[in-house]
Amino acid sequence: MTWIAISDKKHKLFNPKGLSQATTPAAGDLDAHDATMPSGSILMETRLSPEDRPQLLLGLDGGLSRDVNFSIRAVPGGGIALVHSMGAYLCHGAINLSAEARTDILRITYSWDMAHRWARLSVERPETGHSDQIILKDPLPVSLLDIREMVLNPAQGAMAADVCFLAVSDCIEPIGPMPGLTAQTPIATAYGTKWAKDIKRGDLLETLDGASVPVLQVVRRTVPARGLFEPVRLRTPYFGLKCDVTMSSTQRLVIGGSRVEYLFNAEQVLVPARHLINHTAALPVRDTALVTYLQFLLPDHEAINAAGTYVETLDIGRIRRRPNLLRSSLLGQFERNMLPEHNKTAYPVLGSFEALILAEQRAA
């Protein structure tokens, strides 16, 4: 089970056998026969046009030789619609987006399971943690040729300029809370510092308030190193770091100090790593196609010591009260009754505008 395609404004990668970690784009098996994918996921991150009109985000037109059409569109009024047709057969679904929950970037995922005759269309707002999904019955098959043409052939595939990236995997990808730490992150435990990759369920992690808290679960996921999944390298000695660390751009750090208290009336706040990028203290990592992240589930949403700075642990909110979303998430592998509820974040979370203000104040 692996990612087989990535497309953005600079690179187009396709390999039906799986993308490697190598930085050199592989052309892949371009002569692959038109094999149906038993399962898979098409994932994209996009901004929406400010104009209230239909917008084609992703499309495939097979032409006369292949009577197949696939499209994902933004529709007026706030919504995402998917249409997949093959000859006289049609599969379609739509999700209405709440105006109150609008964010800058949407993550749209279409997954299918042909053996069990279902598909799922989901729309996530990673900046707020909000997710919507619908289940579609009797989806139409997606072939490797469809994916190849969508990614590599501009005559048949179309991707809007507002789309940050497109990626395709051969398995059903999870939605919901995501990990954001890398394996070689030093984590302070009750037994001393350990690499994040070596921490197991039951280990005790040291939190910002001085407690030792047990790890309930460890979650991992390999994702395209694009968009909001893009890694960010934080450099020593900034943020109190004792060594450089790499994390997801959405992984949130705990930032405190007099400026924070003055600006936001809080001793500490949470800031996504991507808002700290200034190419000195923090810079994006763009030398890999895929990246694996991990994170720790604790009884409460906490801040733990990572190489001298504090970062948040996995925030799952009240996902256990939403069984459909729970089954679609990384947490679906665990017993529902054994999962905690995180009623609120450990500290206030800064949006992009507030983070920009804080960054300017810290640089002054």
Structural domain boundaries of the chain?
3-169, 181-363
Distance of CA 39 to the CA centre of its chain: 19
Residue that the structure tokens 């749209």 belong to: 108
Give 200's contacts (C-beta < 8 A, 6+ positions apart).
Answer: 215, 218
CA distance 246 to 251: 10
Closest CA to 56 of 29, 40, 75: 75
Q: Is the pLDDT of residue 25 over 50?
A: no
Using DSSP's 3-state secondary structure scheme, residue 305 falls into strand
CA distance 166 to 186: 32
Mean pLDDT calculated for residue range 169-175:
98
Higher pLDDT pick, 23 / 251: 251
Using CA atoms in the order 99, 100, 101, 103, what is the torsion angle rounded to 10 degrees? 70
pLDDT in tens, 119-141: 999 999 998 889 999 999 999 99
Q: What is the mean pLDDT of the chain?
A: 92
Q: Is the pLDDT of residue 304 over 90?
A: yes
Q: Is the pLDDT of residue 24 over 70?
A: no
CA angle, residues 167, 82, 158, in degrees to nearest 5: 55
Length reported for the chain:
364
Structure tokens that stand for 114 in this block:
């042909």
Mean pLDDT calculated for residue range 284-305:
96
Asked whether the beta carbons of 107 and 44 are under 8 A apart, the reply is yes
Sign of the C-alpha dihedral computed for residues 285, 291, 292 and 293 taken in this order: positive
Higher pLDDT pick, 235 / 99: 235
Band the pLDDT of 320: cuts 50, 70, 90: very high
CA distance 238 to 206: 21
Q: What is the CATH number of domain 3-169?
A: 2.60.120
pLDDT given at position 23? 42
Q: Is the pLDDT of residue 34 over 80?
A: no
Same fold, 3-169 and 181-363: no
pLDDT given at position 356? 81
Closest CA to 58 of 71, 45, 68, 69: 71
Task: Spell out the CATH class of 181-363.
Answer: mainly beta
Higher pLDDT pick, 34 / 156: 156
Q: Is the pLDDT of residue 354 over 50?
A: yes
CA distance 339 to 341: 7
pLDDT in tens, 186-236: 999 999 999 999 999 999 999 999 999 999 999 999 999 999 999 999 999
Task: Tell me the CB-side half-sphere exposure of residue 91, using CA atoms within 13 A.
Answer: 23
Distance of CA 287 to the CA centre of its chain: 18
Band the pLDDT of 33: cuts 50, 70, 90: low
Asked whether the beta carbons of 303 and 346 are under 8 A apart, the reply is yes
Task: Write phi, then psi, for 325 (nearest 5 degrees).
Answer: -70, -40
Sign of the C-alpha dihedral computed for residues 147, 149, 151 and 155 taken in this order: negative
Q: Is the pLDDT of residue 301 over 50?
A: yes
| Alpha helices per DSSP H over the chain | 144-152, 258-264, 323-328, 352-363
Mean pLDDT calculated for residue range 288-310:
97
pLDDT given at position 56? 96
Asked whether the beta carbons of 204 and 298 are under 8 A apart, the reply is no
Using DSSP's 3-state secondary structure scheme, residue 285 falls into coil
Closest CA to 123 of 169, 73, 76: 73
Closest CA to 221 of 187, 188, 248: 248
The proportion of the chain whose per-residue pLDDT surpasses 70, expressed as a percent, equals 94
